[in-house]
Amino acid sequence: MQETYVDRLNDVGRFASLAETALSTGRTEALHQELARYHELYGIPVAAIDTSGTVLLGPAGAYREAARAEPALPRIVTAALAGARSEPSWEWAPWDDSALVVAEPVGRDSEVVGAVVTISDLSKTRYRILVRWAQLAGLGLLPLIALVAVAWPVSAWVLRPVRELDAASSRISQGDLTIRADAEAGPVELRRLAESFNTMMDAVENAVQRQRAFVSDASHQLRNPLTSLRLAVESLEPHLRAAGDGRQLYDVAVDELKAMQRMLNSLQASARMESIRTASPVDLDAVLATRVDRWRALTATAGQTLAVDVPPGLRLLEPPGGLGSILDELISNALRLSDAQVVEVTARVVPGGAGPGHGSTSAAGQGDASAAEYGDVSAAGHRDVSAAGHRDVSAAGHRDVSAAAGVVTIAVRDDGQGLDASERAQAPRRFWRSPRHQNVPGTGLGLAICADLVGAAGGELRLEEGLPRPDGSGYGFAAVVALPIAPRGASPSGAPAPSPV
C-alpha cells in the first residue's frame, strides 16, 4: 500500500511540474492528452485544477464522478492549493473502501496557481493484500499443523498409561483389588510408576486376603471346640439340682455359648461379604414378591402391623449377596428391637442422587463401620448368619452407573424406641449396641455388613428418625437404603443369592 502511495506521489509530482510549464506558456494540449491517456491506461482519474477547483486539464467527467464519492477530497485539495503537499489519510485497511487521493500544488510558495489531483481506486490493491495475508497465514499454519500432527500421537502415547492408571485407581476405589496397571506402555518414567503401583497393589491385596482368611479361618476353626463345649455344658443339665444356683449358672453359660456362636457366624459372613464387590441390576418388584408375605406373617406373629408402599417398575443395582437379604435384616431389627406397633416399608425415586435426610447419619461404604445396635445378623430369629458369597454376582460394568442419573431410596421405618442423634452417630461401628439392648440376642454386626454391601454397589445406608411414636414422645428408627438406578437395558441378576446376613 505504501508503494502505491509513493507511485501516485511521483506521478502527481511529474504532472504538477509539467502543468506549471504548460500553464505558464499556454501550451496545454500535450499535457491534456497525456492526462487522458494516463486515465485510459491505469483507470485513475487525474486532473489539473485552478484555485477555484475548476478542472483545467484532464478527464473532467471521470474526475468529478470520482470526487463526489470522496469526502476527504476538499481537505486534501485545500492543503495543496495552500502550497503544502497532502498527507495520506492512512485509511487503507483491506476492509475499508475509500480511494487514495493525492494532490500536488502547481507552483511554489505564494505563486501556486492550481493543483494536480489523482483519485486511485484501491480495491485491487486491497484484494492483493488479502491474498498475501492469506498466503502468510497458510504458511504460518503449516508448521502448526505439522506440530499438532506430531504432538497428538506423542501426547496420546504419553497420556494413555496415565488414563489407564486413573481407570485402575477408580476400579480399585470401588473395591476391585485385582486390577493392575499396564507396565509395558508409555515412557520409561510412567512404566516405572505403573510397576510401583502394581507392586503396591499386590501387597495391599495380599494383606487384605490374609486378613479375610484369618477372620474366616479363625471363626471356622473355633466352631468345633465351641460346639463341643456347648454339648459338654448341655450334658450337665440332667445332673443339676432343681434348687440352687447351678441352674442359673447353667442358663448363663448356655446363653453365652449361643452368643459366641452367633458372633463367629457373623465374623465369617462379614469376611465372605468383603470379598464380593460387584453389583447387578434387579427389579424391586421381584425382590418384594418373594418376601412381603413372610414379613407380614412375622409382624402378625409379633403383634405388629406392616405397611408397604412401593411403586411398581423400580429397577436398581442390587448389592453383592442380594438386596432381599439386606431388607430381611432391616425388618428383623424393627421386629426384635424397636418395640414398635407399625413397621413401614417405602420406596421412592430421587433424581440426581440423594442426600442425607433430616436427622440422618450416613453409614455406607465404611469398611469397618455401620453396625448399629440393631445388629443381630438374622431374620427375625428365623435365620442365622449364613455362608454368603456362593454366587458370583457379576455385571461389574454396572458398577460405573453414576448416581447422577438418580437413585432409588428404600426406607424401613418404625414407631418404636428409636435412637437419638448421639446414638446414631455411634451406630456406624462394629459391635456397637445400645445399652437398652445388651440383653437382646445379637452381635452388633448386622448393619455393618449391610452398609458395606450397599456401599459396594455405589449406594448409601442412612440411619434416620423414624415414624412418630403413638404417645407423641418422639420418633422411632429408620434405615434408608439408597441405590443407583439400573439402566433398563441391563440384564437382570440371575438366581436369588444365598442370604449374606
DSSP 375-429: ---SSTTS--------S----GGGGG--GGG-EEEEEEEESSS---HHHHHH-BS
Q: Which residues, at least 6 apart from 74, have a Cβ–Cβ distance to it below 8 Å?
A: none
DSSP 78: H
* C-alpha to C-alpha distance for 16 and 30, rounded to whole angstroms: 14
Q: Is 113 helix (H, G, I), strand (E, B) or coil?
A: coil
Q: How confident is the model at residue 402 (pLDDT cuts 50, 70, 90)?
A: very low
Q: What are phi and psi of 142, to 5 degrees?
A: -60, -50
DSSP 467: E
Q: Which three cell numbers stand for residue 224?
A: 468345633
Average pLDDT over every residue of 86-114: 75
* C-alpha to C-alpha distance for 133 and 116, rounded to whole angstroms: 33
- The alpha carbon of residue 141 and the mean position of all alpha carbons in its chain are separated, in whole angstroms, by 35
Residue that wins the pLDDT comparison between 449 and 138: 138
Helices vs. strands in the chain: H and E counts, helices first:
12, 12
- The alpha carbon of residue 389 and the mean position of all alpha carbons in its chain are separated, in whole angstroms, by 32
Q: How confident is the model at residue 248 (pLDDT cuts 50, 70, 90)?
A: confident
**Cβ–Cβ under 8 Å, residues 326 and 386:** no
**Cβ–Cβ under 8 Å, residues 458 and 403:** yes
Q: What are phi and psi of 272, to 5 degrees?
A: -70, -40
- Residue 379 has what pLDDT? 34
- Residue 200 has what pLDDT? 92
Handedness of CA 481, 482, 485, 486 (dihedral sign): negative
**Cβ–Cβ under 8 Å, residues 432 and 444:** yes
Average pLDDT over every residue of 387-401: 35
Q: How confident is the model at residue 389 (pLDDT cuts 50, 70, 90)?
A: very low
* C-alpha to C-alpha distance for 295 and 131, rounded to whole angstroms: 84
DSSP 498: P
Q: Where are the alpha helices (DSSP H) in 235-302?
A: 246-273, 284-289, 292-301
**Cβ–Cβ under 8 Å, residues 461 and 402:** no
* C-alpha to C-alpha distance for 453 and 323, rounded to whole angstroms: 9
DSSP per-residue string spanning 305-317? EEEEE--TT-EEE
* C-alpha to C-alpha distance for 293 and 295, rounded to whole angstroms: 5
Burial class (CB in 10 A: 0-12, 13-18, 19+), 31: buried
* C-alpha to C-alpha distance for 239 and 128, rounded to whole angstroms: 120
- Residue 410 has what pLDDT? 93
Q: Where are the alpha helices (DSSP H) in 110-173?
A: 123-173
pLDDT surpasses 80 at 362? no
Q: Is 374 helix (H, G, I), strand (E, B) or coil?
A: coil
Residue-wise pLDDT for 462-500, tens only, equals: 888 889 988 888 898 899 999 988 876 554 444 434 333
- Residue 346 has what pLDDT? 93
- Residue 430 has what pLDDT? 65
Of 470, 466, 278, 260, which is closest to residue 372 (Cα–Cα)?
Answer: 466
113-117, 357-361, 452-456, 461-465: which has the minimum mean pLDDT?
357-361
**Cβ–Cβ under 8 Å, residues 336 and 436:** no
- Residue 497 has what pLDDT? 40
pLDDT surpasses 50 at 358? no
Work out the percent of the chain whose per-residue pLDDT is above 70.
76
- The alpha carbon of residue 148 and the mean position of all alpha carbons in its chain are separated, in whole angstroms, by 28
Q: How confident is the model at residue 345 (pLDDT cuts 50, 70, 90)?
A: very high
Residue-wise pLDDT for 64-89, tens only, equals: 888 887 877 888 888 888 888 767 65
pTM exceeds 0.75: no
Domains and CATH numbers, the chain: 2-121 (3.30.450.20), 146-273 (1.10.287.130), 278-484 (3.30.565.10)
pLDDT surpasses 70 at 59? yes
CA distances from 332 to 148, 300, 336, 446 (A): 64, 13, 6, 10
Average pLDDT over every residue of 401-421: 78
> Which of 184-188, 213-217, 493-497 is the most confident on average?
184-188
Question: Hunting for cell 442370604 — which residue is that?
Answer: 499
Q: How many CB atoms lie within 10 A of CB 167?
A: 13
Residue 103 β-bridge partners: 117
Work out the percent of the chain whose per-residue pLDDT is above 90.
8
71-80, 232-241, 384-393: which has the minimum mean pLDDT?
384-393
Mean pLDDT taken over the chain: 77
Q: How many CB atoms lie within 10 A of CB 98?
A: 15
Residue 120 β-bridge partners: 100
- Residue 496 has what pLDDT? 39
Q: ∠ at Cα 406 (401, 412), nearest 5°?
A: 110
Type and span of the H or E element at 466: strand 460-468
- Residue 440 has what pLDDT? 60
pLDDT surpasses 70 at 50? yes
Q: Which three cell numbers stand for residue 456?
A: 459396594
CA distances from 459 to 60, 63, 350, 450, 498 (A): 90, 85, 13, 11, 21
Residue 371 β-bridge partners: 428
Q: Which three cell numbers stand for residue 495?
A: 438366581
- Residue 436 has what pLDDT? 63
108-117, 189-198, 328-337, 367-376: which has the minimum mean pLDDT?
367-376
pLDDT surpasses 90 at 155? no
> Which of 123-127, 260-264, 293-297, 363-367 is the most confident on average?
293-297
